[in-house]
Amino acid sequence: MEIENSRVARKKQNQTSSKEWIFSFAFAIIVVFLLRTFVVGLAIVDGPSMLNTIQDGDRIVYSKLSKPDKGDIVVVVTPDGTKIIKRVIGLEGDTVEIQNGILYVNGKEKKEDYIMEPMFDYDYEKITVPKGKIFVMGDNRNISADSRKYGTFDLKDHYEGKVVLEFWNNFKLY
């Protein structure tokens, strides 16, 4: 009788621990899904447009809850649906202009120690960033497809989030 009671007790304990394990696993999956959907995103850098700041092939984590500020590295979506990683140059109301390869924001030359190399002798007509939009550029200016190609990016429809972590080739918190 004792052996049978012991077997029944072990069977109930195994069933309970299996149920707890399944519940814990399901809970973890739900938490990860909610975090990835509403809080953070992951992306792989595809191309050299952010050199030397971020390397081609690096992995990044971005916050979907952060609002962009000038100088932030962000993830935006192009009109064809491609996610790209760029630096915020102008916010709504800012004027952005390039004359002879020199970037001006609000009429002042923008000093940038993070760019790969000086821009080619290039002009970009002065624009005022519209309400609810941002102007972005890659740090490797001479090869980057950014707001100079796509125009400004709408915060509501094309802004994914602010980069908070880079890893793979480098490990860096932003």
Burial of 172 (0-12, 13-18, 19+ CB in 10 A): middle
102-105 vs 124-128, strand pairing mode:
unpaired
Decide if 11 is catalytic. Answer: no
- Identity (one letter) of the amino acid at 102? I
CA dihedral (165, 169, 171, 174) positive or negative: negative
> What share of residues in the chain are helix, strand, coil (percent, to 5)?
25, 35, 45
Going by C-alpha positions, the residue among 164, 157, 158, 132 that lies closest to residue 146 is 158
Hey, which residues does 135 pair with through a beta bridge?
90
Cis? peptide before 52, omega within 30° of 0? yes
User: Which residue among 63, 86, 147, 162 is the active-site one?
Assistant: 86
User: Which residue among 11, 18, 49, 144 is the active-site one?
Assistant: 49
Decide if 172 is catalytic. Answer: no
Q: Which residues are the active-site residues?
A: 49, 86
